Amino acid sequence: MKVRILGCSGGIGGRHLRTTSLLVDSDILIDAGTGVGDLAIAELAQIDHVFVTHSHLDHLACLPFIVDTVGDMRNRPLMVHATEATLEIIRAHIFNWAIWPDFSEIPTAEKPFLRFSAIRVGEAVEIDGRKVIPLPANHTVPAVGYQLDSGNASLVFTGDTGPCPELWKHINRIRNLRYLIIECAFSDREKRLATASLHLCPSMLLEELTNLQRDAEVFITHLKPGQIELTMQEIEDCIGEFRPGMLQNNQLFEI
């Protein structure tokens, strides 16, 4: 099971900043931020499943374009997996004919280019022996993280979240945990904003990581442009014992 980082920034700007998306092997996306736009058309056509953490635009921006670009090149619908609450937002505010056509009815409701599938926290979706397991998250809209489990090892991606005790209960039960990708959107000087928007800053991240009872390599995602160096320095200063790395575009994980 290979996980390629297509985008991991909290914003855009220049060739190196792409918003959140992870490509699992060649057929599964975790979120569909602007990093998806760097894939070739042939690569887009291979994607069968998109697992959405939440409905914010930096995690969804390319979803409408994927189905519009390659829907007619495929012999089955693109499956979008999310909680029912998130699917309701996507249906009402994106695929609503006002913002974008409803591809769950195109070309026909019987054979559409797009289908929706509701997921629940803790209930695995198995695809060809690979498990995608929704995890709790605490954000300003309904949200989840994901555990990707190959059977040999697991990678956890928290998605966007503020402090979330339930998340750690799930993570600490993962015996084959190898990688933890966790957000830290703001520097400590923006702690009030992090708290209000249910994101993390370095001092809050430290409090969260003290709940981790498994050995794992830790990587930081969702850093805000303009605060990257400052935030990573603060992370090094306060949680250096975890030896966190900064997630990079095109970084590849094998589990």
Secondary structure E strands in 61-128: 78-83, 114-119, 125-127
What's the confidence (pLDDT) of residue 24? 98
Contact 26, 33 (CB under 8 A): no
**pLDDT of 15:** 79
pLDDT of residue 137: 98
The confidence score (pLDDT) of residue 88 equals 98
CA distances from 112 to 71, 86, 106 (A): 9, 20, 5
At 239 the pLDDT is 87
Enumerate residues 6+ apart whose C-beta is below 8 A from 98: none
**What pLDDT, on a 0 to 100 scale, did the predictor assign at position 41?**
98
Burial of 109 per CB tally in 10 Å (0-12, 13-18, 19+): exposed
Give the DSSP letter string of 124-135.
-EEETTEEEEEE
Nearest to 155 by CA among 18, 10, 62, 28: 28
Q: Residue 49: what pLDDT?
A: 98
Counting the structural domains of the chain, the total is 1
- Is 151 buried (19+), middle (13-18) or exposed (0-12) by CB count in 10 A? exposed
CATH number, position 214: 3.60.15.10
How confident is the chain (255 residues) per 10-residue block, as mean pLDDT? 97 91 98 97 98 98 98 97 98 98 97 98 98 98 98 98 98 98 97 97 97 97 95 92 93 98
Q: How many Å apart are CA 106 and CA 122, to the nearest integer?
A: 32
Q: At what angle do helices 228-239 and 202-209 cross, to 10 degrees?
A: 40
Show the domain range for 33: 2-254
